[in-house]
Amino acid sequence: MIFGGKDHKTGQQEDTEDCYRGLEQRLAAMIPRVDLTHRWSGQVIGTPDGLPYIGQNAEHQYTATGYAGNGLTFGTLAGIMIADAILGRSNPWVELFDPNRKAVTRGLWDCLKENVDYPYYMIRDRFAGPDVKSRSYHRCGSANAQRGGPCFASMPGGSWQGASERGEDGADQMGSVW
């Protein structure tokens, strides 16, 4: 079972543990003896018109993004559509999800409202450095990471490459590589 919610903007939630606690409490209220084995957090990417971009964007290149938290459904649809495109079969949804469609005005106001604080965070992150970006950013080996907090690894040059959080038992509870 996958159980989700407690959406928040990435890097702007002071206490991400509070999000996890809230979800765990809701789940336990519905299924009292549930065995929670994994948890994670990720960005929910949407498009201006609310429909994902699925289709060919160049020869032998396909795009499938903007699922807005509905990846199980739209990911399956993307697999069907891209397989049809590769095999030369027609598909009734090609125009609807075309990655090159122009639908800027349909979601322009939502996009502006959602990103009004973007300049603040962009400037803050440029000048503050990784130790001040968020209370949850910690380099591997730091005291917080050793206590079981999130551990972020980077490559030379400072580009973030992965993240993992370990529980009190030392087991990974969340992981991601980008």
Average confidence (pLDDT) per 10 residues, the chain, 178 residues: 77 80 90 87 83 94 92 94 97 95 69 75 73 46 42 40 45 40
Identify whether the C-beta of residue 162 lies closer than 8 Å to the C-beta of residue 174: no
**Cβ burial, residue 163 (10 Å; 0-12/13-18/19+):** buried
Q: What is the reported pLDDT for 154?
A: 39
The per-residue pLDDT for 53 is 96
Cβ pair 69, 3 in contact under 8 A: no
User: Do residues 104 and 48 touch, judged by C-beta distance below 8 A?
Assistant: yes
pLDDT at res. 17: 84
Q: Is 52 exposed, middle or buried (0-12, 13-18, 19+ CB in 10 A)?
A: buried
Residue 145 CA to residue 161 CA, distance in Å, equals 16
